[in-house]
Amino acid sequence: MKKQQLILLSGGFILVLVLYFFGNTIAPATHSSPVNTNDANSGTITTTEVLTAAKRNITSQQLSYLTQLENSVVRGNVKEQQIRVYRQLAAYWQDTLHQQAIAAYYFGEGAKLENSEKNLNFAARLLLAHLMAEENPGMQGWLATNAKALFEKSLQINPTNDSVKIELGACYIFGNISNTPMEGIRKIK
């Protein structure tokens, strides 16, 4: 073997040994629902409870930034300011705090103000995706209720959208938000 090949081979072998013995072998912690399962009952959780529980797990600097954002709407064009703040809150919850369900909630709040079918469907589908993965019945109800409201508002804009009707039925079925179990299936039919 040539000298260059020997150096490359030994360097690769040393790198593998270093990664094997000194590399991180612990899986990263997963961020599940922001609500503690022990605190939740089988009823629907309110948005205030979800936000309060999520804010307990963040640092004081992050909390002060969130409070500053929430209180930043002032006089003038309040609707546009609220849309901008909801987008900022959604981005902060999603990118920095890694709480995707709460970010989807804020995307939905901004979409309600914009009254855009595309944004309403986007936020509702994010909530529905989290609903499918959620195991906490209270959190399922919260996600389903918020997604249902967004899908219904989207249907007011475009009543002929069949995929939204099916997804609305999925909210009823997976979120268990109706007293009659056939209501979700009726929406899908």
pLDDT attached to residue 20 = 79
d(CA 119, CA 111): 5
Q: Which two structure tokens, joined as six digits, stand for 169?
A: 């039925």
Sole residue written with tokens 């990118």 = 95
Give the orientation angle of helix 60-70 with respect to helix 78-91, to 10 degrees: 160
CB 129 within 8 A of CB 167: no
User: Alpha carbon 124 to chain centroid distance?
Assistant: 10
CB 131 within 8 A of CB 147: yes
Q: Which two structure tokens, joined as six digits, stand for 68?
A: 């500053």
* SS3 category, 44: coil
d(CA 94, CA 97): 6
d(CA 135, CA 180): 21
CB 139 within 8 A of CB 35: yes
Q: Which two structure tokens, joined as six digits, stand for 84?
A: 């901008």
Among 34-48, 55-69, 109-123, whose mean pLDDT is lowest? Answer: 34-48
Helix and strand numbers, DSSP H then E, in the chain: 9, 0
Write the single-letter amino acid at 14: I
Beta-carbon-side half-sphere exposure of residue 156 (alpha carbons within 13 Å): 10
d(CA 68, CA 143): 26
pLDDT tens-digit series, residues 143-178: 999 999 999 999 999 999 889 988 888 888 888 887
pLDDT tens-digit series, residues 103-150: 999 999 999 999 989 999 999 999 999 998 988 888 988 999 999 999
d(CA 70, CA 185): 38
pLDDT tens-digit series, residues 10-28: 998 888 888 778 777 666 6
